[in-house]
A and B are shown apart, each in its own frame.
Chain A
């Protein structure tokens, strides 16, 4: 496949792995723990497992799987709100498929659907708008979820709904932004992360400039990466080179897609429609200031939270779960007492076990080779 095979070339991968090994060998002296490189994005986590990259790395280098899976960081209380909206008689609740199985405190959307709620899986927010036009007597609510990657498409959908005067469409907005969360993570006193692989798709929208504080204030290297195995190996090598030379810069390995200043049109739509919330709750991480967005006042008519009263109750994760530590890289999934026992993909307790981008599900499904041996 053109433009794909080039990025999965085994010979090129072998060269990169060799170089990573060489740097690791040079850095080995005096080092008592592995270099922990966090890939922020869930898409990267998935690719790392799918291509078996962990098994190719030297012992001194490891990936830490970060909080960049929007399904995984969705708190249980918000799922309960979804279910409450979806269970209303007049509502058609439209959602991406991977959000269906996320457990709420009472039930998931999949269970709500089985119990009679009209929940529909769609592939794009525009499909939800089409549903609204086709069902004028019903209220169609789209479950807006995701980072800056999906924000422009829901923003454009709201703009179109406003332009076309579609009054029975609304957005249940759970969009989150990665930058405040990275800052919160970096401000943790005992953070054992030596560098970052930056999210490719988010950066395609926001550009690379917003990450500068990571290098300037926290002296950590970050390399924005693509999603193919060669992209990830090359980005890892770029991070390690910075570590070896004692530098901390923001680099862009994914320049074929990510422009330095992002996508102005997408940013304009986002700017037009959304404003930051004071705070938003992340599963496992708690509330983070400025990390969520909501619809601005002129688009308030399309805000499902205003149109329907939602319970908006905070629900604590089961106390035995260690989702938070896994999300911040402080613990590996198999260190959690529930991993593979109380919490499996069939019966997830935490959302990290639900999405294929969640590190627990990835370890469980693709079998972290190291974890299994441990």
Chain B
């Protein structure tokens, strides 16, 4: 019997409405998912080289600086979509910002997703599109990735891990242990928006507010800051644990005291109201588009002006200074001249905010 040869069309658009365990099985269903959802979003044509790794030309990297920066972060935020962002945007911004605060130019990210079976494919497409859009805005490539599907209940909807590499510019050496007494502490804008937005988006509280997450890639803003304040001592993005966690780490690592002024903390009235109602302290609320920077006193003004000139730094403010008193301690001057110590939180009352 003569069996006719039928040309195989291995690459097909994904027609399933939901992700099943078959999409993680390593076969053609998985490749369809990767090609049609992720590669289509990340590389535009869904036809990236089917290799197991991304490859970089070292000489091209070294044009940006002389050290490689390397970081990773997992994202489990609940809900997946929230005012001002979604898990995809967060996953790109988080890793881009972790590279940028080290003085690195972010170059490329990897993206590993763990999907709970039953997740609508449309949800995955939206997340992938958001990742692609954010990566474009930040000027980084999503160069490699991995997909796993787990049984219902083995994870919650969708978890994403991004890993990033970047190149640290020559001559720049910022670090958490480099603050000195007299230095000035700045933030690039309103604090607490992300934590408040996520808590509110969960809908448990039945509060009506228009608070949006501040989730944003900060590498552009940080370029501006480095330019304006070449003596920059350190930068950190004030994510989980908020500004309070970062200043405490800074005080401990640099063996200095930090004095904050409550009246100088930039905060949205809605966030303050939200915290009032719930008894939260906005200093501990997470941010996803805010850095805390320490600069020498003589560069404080130019740093502030530069931050404020950037769209993501319009509400930038000097919030305190580094002191030689009580090393390792953060003290806040309350609005009527009292003082209190700002410590780190032990646990988080708000799990899964990023």
Contacts and interface: CB of A to CB of B under 8 A. Distances in A.
A237 to B, nearest CB: 15
Given A8-B335, A52-B338, A56-B337, A365 B343 contact: yes
Interface string B73-99: 000000000000000000000000000
A56 B340 contact: no
Nearest to A366: B340
Contacts of B281: 50
B59 interface: no
Contacts of A56: 336-338
A10 B335 contact: yes
Interface residues of B, number: 20
Interface in B194-226: 204-205
Nearest to B349: A97
A367 B341 contact: yes
A1 B335 contact: no
Given A1-B272, A1-B276, A367-B329, A346 B346 contact: yes
A10 B336 contact: yes
Interface in A318-374: 345-346, 364-367, 369
Interface in B237-276: 269, 272-273, 276
Contact of B340 (A52, A122, A127, A364): A52
A226 B291 CA distance: 36
Contacts of B273: 1
A367 B340 contact: yes
Interface in A23-64: 49-56
Given A1-B269, A97-B349, A127-B204, A52 B334 contact: yes
B339 A55 contact: yes
Contacts of A49: 340
Nearest to A53: B338
Given A1-B273, A8-B335, A51 B204 contact: no
B347 interface: yes
Interface of B: 204-205, 269, 272-273, 276, 281, 329, 334-341, 343, 346-347, 349
Interface of A: 1, 4, 8-10, 13-14, 49-56, 97, 101, 110, 122-123, 127, 229, 345-346, 364-367, 369
9 contacts: A4-B276, A9-B336, A10-B336, A52-B338, A52-B339, A55-B339, A56-B336, A364-B343, A369-B339
